[in-house]
Amino acid sequence: SFHLSEYRAKTSKPCTREAPIIENGKRTWKIYKDIEFNEEVFSEIGKDFEKSNKISKGLVGCAESKLFKQKEAVDFAEKWLNGGK
């Protein structure tokens, strides 16, 4: 959710990356445009999101998890990243 928000945020900084892909049956390196990620703020965004949004607890498989609406998380994080903490 938060990486999607980074792509939507006006504050995202562009960068160039390289990755191998299979093209015509052969492995080749391609250069592509992307954005710089900033996972360091995800914990803070998550804490702020929990303070102002409905979060439920439940099981996903056998793991206790926090459950919330995906769209609300993406929209909240985008606003947060754009300075609307």
How many Å apart are CA 53 and CA 47, to the nearest integer? 10
pLDDT tens, position by position, 25-53: 999 999 999 999 999 999 999 999 999 99
- Beta carbons within 10 angstroms of residue 85's beta carbon: 9
User: What pLDDT score was predicted for residue 37?
Assistant: 96
> Residues 35, 14: contact at Cβ < 8 Å?
yes
